[in-house]
Amino acid sequence: MKYLEKITNWLLLIFLFTLPWQTRYILLAGSLKNAYWEYGTLAIYASDILLIIIFVLVIINKYLNKTKFKLATSTIWLIILSTGLLLVNLYFSLNKIISLWHIAWLIMAISIFIVLQTSSLKKSSALLALITGSAVSGLLGLWQFISQSSFASTILGLAKHNPADLGVSVIEAIAPDNVVERWLRAYGSLDHPNMLGGLMFAGLIFSLYFIINIDSKNKKNVFIYSSLIALMSGLILAFSRSAWLAIFVSVLIFTFHTLRQKKYNFKKYLPFFIINFVMIIILIIPYYYLFVPRFSINNRLEKLSTEERYSGYKESLSVVKNHPIIGSGLGVYGLALEKIDPKQSVWFYQPVHNIFILILAETGLAGLILFIYAIYLAFKKATPDNKILVLSLICGLFILGILDHWLISLHFGLFFFATVLGLALNKKPGPTLD
């Protein structure tokens, strides 16, 4: 039914635009050692409700049109094996309620991944929605950095961040006048600057893909060029080294391979590189001393961060050793860590900063193998037109995942991961003039 398809496509656009916003209703606050524990919190997000409505409409539409989801044999086997593993993993989980909640997130993430690949939504419209929503978050991050403040909003899912408070992500640097300063890193609409950096990375790669696939005279280009200002601002001011490395490697891969095809003229890349270079100069020159600590091993906060990560990797080996085959349970890494070392403060029991080790710890060797196989199938499924886009995004996502955990430990991370790959794998040609 055409009207159902149109409604679904509009809801998809809303989902893509609002993806960076974390509006939620907390059903049960997570608690560990009598303190708040984010990773054990049970909440319903606005995006969950929207996604459920979308998926129901897709199923109804397919039923009325007498069509089915077409899945390859390898994909069917992956689903069967994953389902079996998750059931066993749930049975042995240290907390079945938390694991069940994370399984629900995973199912919804897979659903949006499938829907975005098969949707009749124009690829240009989908990319514009995601890029625009990301740019708005980037602009918010720019304002947060300039004003050195943020505001809380229950409706928008925003928390207040004060650079003077402990636990808030800041840059601690010595100013030219030898005064030690604490500068708030840009959060945008997300829970951590590293997450904002990851979002800006995806927005920039999709913007580059958009620019080189659309006629240079198209009016949409002006909008994309404007979005680049917000996206690059958010990327820089998040001070996320993992996001900086991800965008560098991904742009390098994307540019090198597309130019080798001799299908694109380098002139199409110039606006992207010029605008981003100008933004880098504008933001880095006046605040150059803030970037020095991010590349220094002698800074107090950088030392502390390095020590915490090293300790996290060391502790993760104990968790993996205790649950090598099927893991400790999806979403309960903190509980497994607390069981091994119960004397630490609650902040200590956070996921290890590496998604591959985290998957190994929570779902065992079987889960890690299935995850790697799923990524392999995704890349194999890419068409010649979008294979380079998929490759560059996967490389960037892996860099983010090797250096942090939010891609699979948090609600936004799972949905972000699925959305980025789902859009990239959409078999429609690149942005058109429609």
Q: What is the pLDDT of residue 432?
A: 52
| Termini Cα distance of the chain | 22
Q: What is the pLDDT of residue 1?
A: 59
Calculate helix-pair angle for 73-91, 96-118, nearest 10 degrees.
160
Given a contact cutoff of 8 angstroms between Cβ atoms, the answer to whether 352 and 387 are in contact is no
283 three-class SS: helix
* Residue recorded with tokens 């409505």: 53
Residue 26 main-chain phi, psi, to 5 deg:
-80, 120
3-state helix, strand, coil in the chain (%, to 5): 65, 5, 30
Residue 403 main-chain phi, psi, to 5 deg:
-105, 0
- In three-state form (DSSP H/G/I as H, E/B as E, the rest C), the secondary structure along 326-384 is CCCCCCCHHHHHHHHCCCCCHHHCCCCCCHHHHHHHHHHHHHHHHHHHHHHHHHHHCCC
**Burial call 127-152: b when 16+ CB within 10 Å, e when fewer:** bbbbbbbbbbbbbbbbbbbeeeebee
* DSSP class of 307: H
DSSP letters spanning 12-46: HHHHHHHTT---EEEEE--EETTEE-GGG-EEEEH
Q: What is the pLDDT of residue 393?
A: 96
Cα–Cα–Cα angle for 267, 271, 273, rounded to 5 degrees: 95
**How far is the C-alpha of 64 from the C-alpha of 287, rounded, in Å?**
58
| Element holding 184 (H helix, E strand) | strand 180-184
- The 10 Å Cβ neighbour count of residue 428 is 17
Closest CA relative to residue 187, chosen from 176, 198, 177: 198
183 three-class SS: strand
**How far is the C-alpha of 321 from the C-alpha of 361, rounded, in Å?**
8
The Cβ-side half-sphere exposure at 21, using a 13 Å CA radius, reads 21
Query: pLDDT 10s per residue in the chain (434 long)?
Result: 578 888 999 999 999 999 999 999 999 998 888 889 899 999 999 999 999 999 999 988 887 877 777 777 888 888 899 999 999 999 999 999 999 999 999 999 999 998 998 888 888 899 999 999 999 999 999 999 999 988 888 888 888 888 888 778 999 888 888 888 899 999 999 999 999 999 999 999 999 999 888 766 666 778 899 999 999 999 999 999 999 999 999 999 998 888 787 666 777 888 899 999 999 999 999 999 999 888 876 667 666 777 778 778 888 888 999 888 889 999 999 999 999 888 888 888 899 999 999 999 999 999 999 999 999 998 888 888 788 899 999 999 999 999 999 999 999 999 999 999 999 998 765 565 34
Domain ranges across the chain:
2-424
Q: What is the pLDDT of residue 263?
A: 65
Q: What is the pLDDT of residue 382?
A: 87
